[in-house]
């Protein structure tokens, strides 16, 4: 019950953050375009994408820490006196301190190779690089908090920092700082987040935040530096998957076309985070279950999580497919809409990637980082190559088609085989929990297509009305079926616990 409560609370706060960020982003993107212009804003999007390559220097150590902390937390339920968790955090801290020097060198090299003829981007990127290097030694503390499932604090921190960052960005843009405004706001967010996590962990578990790791961590060995190596390989693949479309469009069609592609994909990019948050919030709990629950229960939880993600993803696909043309036209202008074919391919990729993510997370929780990483890098290479070829063939829509090719021919087949072997189920049964939702999504999308074709919405009220109609139709088809599955039992249990929690709080307030 405690694990479920932490998951529900953390996920709810994450959704509050995403909802606020999405609503503010509807205003912020046109604002940035007005203040910076399409060309400069496109440069910032490309530069920020390149900046993420610095995350590869840590060899996946920080990324794998939440899973390892959660797994050891499950073990300490039976042996609270075990020193394994303290040793892990101290050794990880030592490794990250050594890696900071390598990150700083990589940042200097990255800055050196920036195009010298682009002075408008070099200064802002220098600020972002400096903030990244200054905050890097403290990244481990946020990872430990995630493994400890302190999701309430992490959600609250994200909301507060987002508010301050958005206000800083807008204020500095109004003062005429241009790209420097975005860089300063981004740097403030990164530094403040890592320092806040350090303070929080110091309060919760002071023995994990100490100046004594050199004395008590023991001798570092090569496996201490490479235990996240395969996850780092997966991060390379993730960069190919999430950034190759933007880079390919910029290379082949120009930086201005990146803005058109980004605006067309904006709704999908923002809203796709909602199902992903549901799965990522559950990852520490899945890792903990490996040490304390039978495999049959883990399979049931994994299937239910996958169904919840697919239900959510299907709703997003139906709504976005119906309103995206009108939304982009009202939001930033019809000239920045990339077409219905691009929208459809983006949404197909969205739902396939979400299904693949649920399989990957279950496998990752069971220690499959090596095969998952190899699969991801193969997917990334195929995706980047396919996107490059398809953009030459189809234009802007080819970038999204390349993303679909990678997941269909690489990721889903490999993950399906691995999942089938781990849980001892036939391959066809891997997709059995999700098949009934397929025709429902297709049927509602067909209605949405006719609705936007013959009754195009005018303005935001019309967009909201079309979204409500499609959403209600989708809910009428999907919810009754979902409630007859094990997912329905989980949902009922969560609602009952929430209702009981509210009742207890009302009693306390009345006293």
Q: Give the residue ranges of DSSP H helices in 332-411.
A: 340-365, 369-394, 397-406
Q: Tally the C-alpha atoms within 13 A of residue 485's C-alpha that lie toward its C-beta.
A: 21
Q: In sequence order, what DSSP letters do the residues of 190-234 get, joined into one string? A: HHHHHHHHHHHHHHH-GGGS-S-HHHHS----HHHHHTTHHHHHH
Give how far the C-alpha of residue 203 lies from the chain's centroid of Cα atoms, to the nearest Å: 28
Mind listing the pLDDT tens digit of every residue in the chain (511 residues)? 455 555 556 566 666 776 777 677 667 777 877 788 777 777 777 666 666 666 666 566 777 787 778 777 766 555 554 577 777 888 888 888 888 888 888 788 877 776 665 666 778 888 888 888 888 888 888 888 888 878 778 888 888 888 898 888 889 888 888 888 888 988 898 899 889 988 998 888 887 786 654 455 566 666 666 666 666 666 666 666 777 788 788 888 887 788 888 889 888 887 777 777 666 666 666 666 666 667 777 777 778 878 888 888 899 999 999 999 999 998 888 888 888 999 999 999 999 988 888 888 778 777 777 788 788 888 888 988 998 899 988 888 988 999 999 999 998 999 899 888 888 888 888 888 888 888 889 899 999 999 988 888 888 899 999 999 999 999 999 988 888 887 777 777 667 766 676 666 666 666 5
Angle between helix 179-204 and 139-147 (nearest 10): 50
Distance CA 399, CA 86 (A): 46
Distance CA 507, CA 502 (A): 9
Nearest to 141 by CA among 224, 222, 69: 69
Contact 60, 230 (CB under 8 A): yes
CA 283-286-290 angle, 5° bins: 140
Contact 360, 403 (CB under 8 A): no
Structure confidence at residue 212 (pLDDT)? 59
Structure confidence at residue 1 (pLDDT)? 45
pTM over 0.75: no
Q: φ and ψ at 178, to 5 degrees?
A: 50, -125
Distance CA 86, CA 498 (A): 33
Distance CA 227, CA 210 (A): 22
Using CB atoms within 10 A of its CB, is residue 450 exposed (0-12), middle (13-18) or buried (19+)? exposed
Q: φ and ψ at 227, to 5 degrees?
A: -65, -20
**Rounded to whole angstroms, what are the CA distances from 73 to 259, 289, 416, 446?**
45, 10, 29, 47
**Rounded to whole angstroms, what are the CA distances from 90 to 72, 84, 407, 414, 431?**
14, 10, 38, 36, 41
Q: φ and ψ at 458, to 5 degrees?
A: -115, 110
Contact 209, 202 (CB under 8 A): yes
Structure tokens at 75: 């073990």
Contact 316, 275 (CB under 8 A): yes
Angle between helix 119-135 and 179-204 (nearest 10): 0
Structure tokens at 437: 């939702």
Q: In sequence order, what DSSP letters do the residues of 121-135 get, joined into one string? A: HHHHHHHHHHHHHHH
Distance CA 463, CA 323 (A): 6
Provide the residue ranges of all domains of the chain, joining segments of one domain with +.
Answer: 1-227
Q: In sequence order, what DSSP letters do the residues of 346-364 get, joined into one string? A: HHHHHHHHHHHHHHHHHHH
Q: Around Cβ 480, how many Cβ atoms within 10 Å?
A: 10
Distance CA 45, CA 35 (A): 15
Give how far the C-alpha of residue 511 lies from the chain's centroid of Cα atoms, to the nearest Å: 42
Distance CA 267, CA 271 (A): 6
Contact 60, 235 (CB under 8 A): yes
DSSP run (H or E) holding 146: helix 139-147
Structure tokens at 316: 């997003």
Nearest to 307 by CA among 492, 498, 491: 491
Residue-wise over 20-35: b if at least 16 C-beta within 10 A, else e?
Answer: ebbeebbeebebbbeb
């Amino acid at each position: 019950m405690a694990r479920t409560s932490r998951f529900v609370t953390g996920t709810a706060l994450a959704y509050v953050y995403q909802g606020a960020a999405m609503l503010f982003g509807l205003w912020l993107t046109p604002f940035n375009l007005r203040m910076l212009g399409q060309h400069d804003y496109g440069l910032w999007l490309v530069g920020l994408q390149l900046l993420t390559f610095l995350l590869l220097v840590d060899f996946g150590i920080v990324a794998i820490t939440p899973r390892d902390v959660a797994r050891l937390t499950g073990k300490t339920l039976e042996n609270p006196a075990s020193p394994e968790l303290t040793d892990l955090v101290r050794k990880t801290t030592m490794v990250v301190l050594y890696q900071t020097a390598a990150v700083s060198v990589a940042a200097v090299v990255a800055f050196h190779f920036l195009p010298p003829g682009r002075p408008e981007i070099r200064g802002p990127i220098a600020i972002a690089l400096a903030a990244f290097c200054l905050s890097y030694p403290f990244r481990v503390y946020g990872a430990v908090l995630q493994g400890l499932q302190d999701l309430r604090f992490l959600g609250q921190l994200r909301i507060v920092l987002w508010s301050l960052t958005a206000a800083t960005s807008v204020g500095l843009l109004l003062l005429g700082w241009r790209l420097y405004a975005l860089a300063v706001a981004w740097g403030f967010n990164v530094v403040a987040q890592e320092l806040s996590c350090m303070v929080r962990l110091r309060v919760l578990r002071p023995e994990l935040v100490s100046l004594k790791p050199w004395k008590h961590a023991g001798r570092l060995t090569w496996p201490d530096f490479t235990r996240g190596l395969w996850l780092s390989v997966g991060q390379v693949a993730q960069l190919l998957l999430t950034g190759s479309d933007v880079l390919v469009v910029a290379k082949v069609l120009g930086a201005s076309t990146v803005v058109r592609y980004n605006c067309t994909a904006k709704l999908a990019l923002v809203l796709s985070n909602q199902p992903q948050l549901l799965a990522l919030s559950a990852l520490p709990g899945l890792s903990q279950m490996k040490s304390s629950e039978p495999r049959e229960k883990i399979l049931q939880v994994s299937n239910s999580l996958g169904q919840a993600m697919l239900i959510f993803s299907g709703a997003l696909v139906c709504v976005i497919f119906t309103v995206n043309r009108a939304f982009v036209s009202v939001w930033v202008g019809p000239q920045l809409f990339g077409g219905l074919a691009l929208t459809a391919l983006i949404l197909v990729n969205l739902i396939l990637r979400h299904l693949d993510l649920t399989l990957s997370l279950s496998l990752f929780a069971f220690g499959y980082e090596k095969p998952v990483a190899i699969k991801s890098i193969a997917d990334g290479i195929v995706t980047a190559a396919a996107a490059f070829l398809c953009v030459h063939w189809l234009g802007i829509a080819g970038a999204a088609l390349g993303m679909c090719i990678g997941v269909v021919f690489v990721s889903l087949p490999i993950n399906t085989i691995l999942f089938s072997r781990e849980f001892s189920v036939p391959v066809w049964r891997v997709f059995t929990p999700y098949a009934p939702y397929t025709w429902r999504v297709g049927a509602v999308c067909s209605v949405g297509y006719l609705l936007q074709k013959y009754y195009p919405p005018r303005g935001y009220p019309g967009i909201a009305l079309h979204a409500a109609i499609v959403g209600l139709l989708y809910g009428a088809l999907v919810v009754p079926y979902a409630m007859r599955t094990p997912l329905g039992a989980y949902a009922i249990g969560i609602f009952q616990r929430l209702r009981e929690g509210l009742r207890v709080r009302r009693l306390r307030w009345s006293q």
